[in-house]
Structure 1
Amino acid sequence: MAPTWNDSLKIGIPLIDFQHQQLFDQMDLLIDNLEKQRSPQQLKSTIKFLEMYINNHFKYEESCMNLYKCPVAKTNHKAHQLFVLNFEMIKTRIEQDDDFNSIIFSIKQDLRDWFINHIKSIDTQLKPCLPHKNNG
Structure 2
Amino acid sequence: MPAVQWSDDLSSGFKEIDDQHKELINRVNKLLDACNSGKGRQEIGETLNFLSDYVVEHFNSEEKYMKQYNYPGLNEQIEQHKYFVNYVGDLKKDFEQNGPSISLTMKLSKNLVDWLVNHIMKVDKKAGAFLKEKAR
TM-score by length of 2: 0.80
Match of 1:71 in 2: 72
Query: Larger % of helix: which?
Result: 2
**CA 1:93–1:115: 2 relative to 1, 3 Å:** same
Q: SS of the residue aligned with 1:3?
A: coil
**After the TM superposition, which parts of structure 1 deviate over 3 Å for at least 4 consecutive aligned residues?**
30-35, 42-46
Aligned pairs (5 A) from 1:7-46: 7=7, 8-33=9-34, 35-37=38-40, 39=42, 43-46=44-47
Could you list the runs of 5+ residues in structure 1 that have no partner in the other structure? none
TM-score by length of 1: 0.80
Match of 1:131 in 2: 134
Residues in 2 aligned to 1:71 and 1:12: alpha-carbon distance in whole angstroms: 18
Aligned CA-pair RMSD: 2.2
* Bigger shift: residues 77-86 or 45-54: 45-54
**CA 1:16–1:121: 2 relative to 1, 3 Å:** same
Could you list the runs of 5+ residues in structure 2 that have no partner in the other structure? none
Percent identity between matched residues is 28
Could you tell me how far 1:76 is from its partner in structure 2? Answer: 0.2
Q: How many residues align?
A: 130
Relative contact order, higher structure (CA 8 A, sep 6+)? 2
